Structure 1
Amino acid sequence: MNNLLIEKNNQTDDWWKKAVAYQIYPRSFYDSNNDGIGDLNGIREKLPYLKELGIDFIWLNPIYASPNVDNGYDISDYQAIHPDFGTMAEFEQLLAEAHALDIKIIMDLVVNHTSDQHPWFLEARQSKDNPYRDYYLWEDATADQLPNNWQSFFGGPTWTYDETTEQAYFHVFAKEQPDLNWKNPTMRAAIYKMIRWWLNLGIDGFRIDAISHIQKEPWDFEITDNQWAPFMNVSGIDDYMLELKAIFDEYDIVTVGEASGVSSEEAVAWTGNDGYVNMIFELEHCGRIGEPGQQKGSIPHLKDTLTRWQNSLADNGWNALYLENHDTPRSVSVYGDGSEKSAKALATLLLLMKGTPFIYQGQELGMINYPFRSIEEVDGKDTLYAYQALLEEQPELTSEEALTITMNWSRDHSRTPFQWNTEAFGGFSKTTPWLAVNPNFPIINAQYELQQPHSVVNFYKQLITLRKNTDTLIHGTYHLLLKNHPSIYAFTRQSDTETWLIITNLSTRSVTIDLSEELTLNDWQLILTNNQKLSLSHPLTLERFDALVYRKRH
């Protein structure tokens, strides 16, 4: 046991290390005015539910003014609330009421790009000598000859030709999301002023969207094996991150970077004692296996990746833990079998690793993927693009086959409305929602589950309480067991005073394991399980999606 590590962590016991976060996708959380779209007052009305769940802070997906080409990640005014969600006064009321319940709120900070309807870009595209021109990235081009052949995350070129000025502008996402030019100090000063405006309003931090993309390689950079390499954690980004850190350090906040392209080894520089942010979301663990038309998360890949991140940040840095979010399908459909039991097994894994757990709305109910029946039910622009591209590339596919393949990993699965009760539309709204409600809402909903002692949501509440009341489950070391087992994810969390043993069987089959070579098999107390109470034995048989949590005092 590293005594110095535990001592150091206790000395820097930041509030966010003990916290459990809850991600809210406002459009789909709760509709208070019955227009089919979730809103700020809806979130405010449901704060007691979140308080009862036991969470400590909320991450709000974008609520800013936006044309909604990318559901709010294309911002046209950083300091205005989209009318769909409410007003600034209503946001301030939400913030005040959340704080009164000891719930903090962090905002989504989107500064890699803006909307093409942002006043800066509307000015920038007027002429080459416009004062805002250099807020964005422009190069000489023609409609047939773009500056390079880089591809965007949403498909198609990273360049869009603009006839007015006979140049092309750069965008790593949709063409309606032009990238900001971080080399421009005037642009950066405007962004920093906006950041301070929100922090002075009293918010508790930021989840920083796509932040690892703000630095780009030279336009003549040659791509080899990774088509995203020209704009993923490119050398020189540290200059900008240090400027952001200087602002963040002025406030008692939490900062979480979405940092694709940052390896587990590089993450110390991002999240360590002198790091730019408190923690980052890595995107590596979302591994996939299976033939086209099938959906399955790779358990060995999940285990290997999460363990590597746990080990890399064991002595310096901090993990942001998640299994699903607004950009992924439902974890219980990817890593589980859609059952309550598999939802509980995944919850055990998530809540008891080292780091700050992020629960995505509905995950605590065991919400599963939506059974999409036609492309008309789909909202996500990237999914629609992928569907059309698939039909063009493989004309032999039927529309139904193309839909199945495309929807396997669609973001729309996690964006269906939250299921509150058995009323029409799952109690989300009294009118038809912007996106369809999963038809299983009569059996998976918050009202019903809260009344059932052994429900998924009550299991989450048990895990959250256990974590908060156990210092070892916050600061204790992590050690993986049975590294090469294809379906067992087992690990220990250890301090000077106790050891916790967490065992999950992430498969539909019963599995017998032998831990005798790695553990002394006595004096263990079973604390929590999603199955019958078992004594730790040699060998130990786990049924499908069993989750067992043991403690041994030293």
Structure 2
Amino acid sequence: MNKLLKLSVFSCLLAVIASCSPETKSEKAVKNYWPNAGVTYEIFIQSFCDANGDGIGDVKGVIEKLDHVSDLGANAIWFMPIMPSPSYHKYDVTDYKAIHPDYGSMDDFKKLIQVAHEKDIKIVIDMIINHTSDEHPWFLESKKGRDNPYRDYYVWAQADTIQDFLDKKTVTLDSDNIRQWHDPGFGKDYYYGFFTGNMPDLNFDNPKVREEIYEIGRFWLEEVGVDGFRLDAAKHIYPDDRAKDNHNFWNEFRAEMEKIKPDVYLVGEVYDMKEVVAPYLTGLPALFNFDFHYTLLNAYAKEDGMMLAKKQHEILDFYHGITENFIDATISSNHDQPRLLNELGEHKDKMKQAIAILMTMPGAPYLYYGEEIGMLGKKPDENIREPFLWDEKGEDVGRATWIVPEYSTDKTVQPLALQKEDPESYYNHYKTVIHLRNTHPALATGSLNLEEQQYPKSVMAYERILPDQNLMIFHNIGGKTVEVSLPEDYSNVIYRLKGASTKGDKLTLPAYSSIILDK
């Protein structure tokens, strides 16, 4: 069968399914649960879509591909840094009120927001306020001397007052960064930069700095029209021994932003255990759940089905002890971790099941661009952020070329255009499970109930419950088939993955299979 005939047959098959299945996507059936439980799609613009042919992804390229986000079923986009910066990743900002020229103009970005909003897609941007670039005008002024008006915008100390720190090598998150105090070349005064020397920390004890930050937030909400911010390094506004100052700052930041936009969305990066993370919820109502990612991987490694379900239940209970109004931003991957498919040993069945787990668990899930086509990538970070493959190489006019990919190449990753026509592709699987979540309220907003019944070790079992809908979910994350008793009253199969089946009072779960039942 030639390629055109195959595509025609597949298209007809999809049309027949769409006309017959009660679970097929319709405008009325799909509900937007964002921000509390909706799906957010993370984009690194540099690698997403290149509209002008210079090799670098840009804002106009994103506009061209907004239908991809809609078709996938996502409700919002989080953009990694978009502001001017000397680095490819742009986490060291030189101008907080502009778009990086490689990405386009502010008018381009406003147009993107307009078109996205017309498609019911919200826009969240990365806000990097823990530090600036060492090329930011504030820091260039700050370096000029102790009497400069911008000196106190940063954290400076004389060498003799921090000698103990200078004598001791302190390893931080970056193994190459052995010092947090950095010498600008004077030999007497040092400045503090938690991450690297080219990212000097701002001094939030200075009221002028806090007001500068609030004004930046107002600009993006009022003048540009974004819907919210992802707050980078939220734990590091103040040092770890000043955690209460951190919490108070974010409470103040939230209050200032809500004066401008009462429903502003704020999601924070606080990478730590739940006891450290939870107190931030009053200022940052959404926080990334890094435990979800790492526990998922650990559960697969140990074939321990209930490990993740129990961890998630424990975290949610703990958060409810702080506040009832929080958003659990769940992730299975992001721009800082190796690609999920690499973490799962390039195991296709695990990869498909992992997204089924993410989409059937409580929370507001985030998807990292390219995961939906099985992109690959390992450290260093550049190779986790390689260009998206839209089409076969000769046809892919939008593919970015700023980096030569090492992992996500035409030999290792099937491009989106081909995956759209393959019913067994990652892309069509992602669409299916996201649609399932968007059309079954209990999967989005239902409570999480863990079964008291004991199942084989590799089985993950839980209920998602609303007053008018009860769903029972099983995942076998092990490599062998298991059989369990079918829960009482749960007889209707609404979704199955990889051959999960029911017969009589028994449920058969092949390796890496999943099933969702309702009453």
1:235 Cα deviation after fit: 2.7
Contact 2:37 2:327 in 1 (8 A): no
1:329 Cα deviation after fit: 1.0
Q: Report the AA paired with residue 280 of structure 2.
A: W
Q: Report the AA paired with residue 324 of structure 1.
A: S
**Measured at CA, do residues 235 and 170 of structure 1 come closer, stay the same or move farther in structure 2, by a change above 3 Å?**
same
Q: TM-score, normalised by structure 2?
A: 0.83
Whether 1:528 aligns to 2:498 is no
Cα RMSD for the two superposed structures: 3.0
Counterpart in 1 of 2:171?
Answer: 151
1:86-105 pair list within 5 angstroms: 86-105=104-123
Counterpart in 2 of 1:318?
Answer: 327
1:47-86 pair list within 5 angstroms: 47-68=66-87, 71-86=89-104
Counterpart in 2 of 1:212?
Answer: 235
Contact 1:111 1:191 in 2 (8 A): yes
Q: Report % sequence identity.
A: 30
Residue 549 of structure 1 aligns to a residue in which SS? strand
Q: TM-score, normalised by structure 1?
A: 0.78
1:145 Cα deviation after fit: 3.8
1:459 Cα deviation after fit: 2.0
For each residue in 1:392-434, what CA deviation from the matched residue of structure 2 results, as whole angstroms up to 9, or x when unmatched? xxxxxxxxxxxxxxx4xx4344311111111249655375646
CA distance in 1, matches of 2:448, 2:473: 10
Q: Report the AA paired with residue 141 of structure 2.
A: E
**Measured at CA, do residues 198 and 541 of structure 1 come closer, stay the same or move farther in structure 2, by a change above 3 Å?**
same
Q: Report the AA paired with residue 318 of structure 2.
A: S
Q: Report the AA paired with residue 374 of structure 2.
A: G
1:322 Cα deviation after fit: 0.7
1:474 Cα deviation after fit: 2.2
Whether 1:439 aligns to 2:446 is no
CA distance in 2, matches of 1:302, 1:499: 20
Contact 1:152 1:171 in 2 (8 A): no
Whether 1:138 aligns to 2:156 is yes
Counterpart in 1 of 2:3?
Answer: none
1:66 Cα deviation after fit: 0.3
For each residue in 1:433-462, what CA deviation from the matched residue of structure 2 results, as whole angstroms up to 9, or x when unmatched? 464462355752211111123322222222
Counterpart in 2 of 1:258?
Answer: 269
Q: Report the AA paired with residue 194 of structure 2.
A: V
1:228-377 pair list within 5 angstroms: 229-230=240-241, 234-250=243-259, 251=261, 252-261=263-272, 263-265=273-275, 267-271=277-281, 275-287=282-294, 300=304, 302-313=308-319, 316-334=325-343, 336-369=344-377
CA distance in 2, matches of 1:58, 1:317: 19
**Measured at CA, do residues 72 and 298 of structure 1 come closer, stay the same or move farther in structure 2, by a change above 3 Å?**
farther
Residue 432 of structure 2 aligns to a residue in which SS? helix
Residue 250 of structure 2 aligns to a residue in which SS? helix
For each residue in 1:27-54, what CA deviation from the matched residue of structure 2 results, as whole angstroms up to 9, or x when unmatched? 1111122222211111111011111112
CA distance in 2, matches of 1:61, 1:299: 34
CA distance in 2, matches of 1:199, 1:140: 39
Counterpart in 1 of 2:143?
Answer: 125
CA distance in 2, matches of 1:89, 1:434: 30
Contact 2:500 2:514 in 1 (8 A): no
CA distance in 2, matches of 1:318, 1:366: 27
For each residue in 1:220-266, what CA deviation from the matched residue of structure 2 results, as whole angstroms up to 9, or x when unmatched? xxxxxxxxx55xx72321221111110232312211111123x4346
Identify the range of structure 1 (480-489 vs 412-421) with the bigger mean alpha-carbon deviation: 480-489
CA distance in 2, matches of 1:289, 1:98: 32
Counterpart in 1 of 2:218?
Answer: 196
For these two proteins, the number of residue pairs brought into alignment is 475
Q: Report the AA paired with residue 90 of structure 2.
A: G
Flag structure 1 segments of 5+ consecutive residues without an equivalent.
1-12, 217-228, 371-406
1:533 Cα deviation after fit: 5.2
**Measured at CA, do residues 269 and 144 of structure 1 come closer, stay the same or move farther in structure 2, by a change above 3 Å?**
closer
Contact 2:481 2:509 in 1 (8 A): yes
Flag structure 2 segments of 5+ consecutive residues without an equivalent.
1-31
Contact 2:48 2:400 in 1 (8 A): no
Contact 2:472 2:490 in 1 (8 A): no
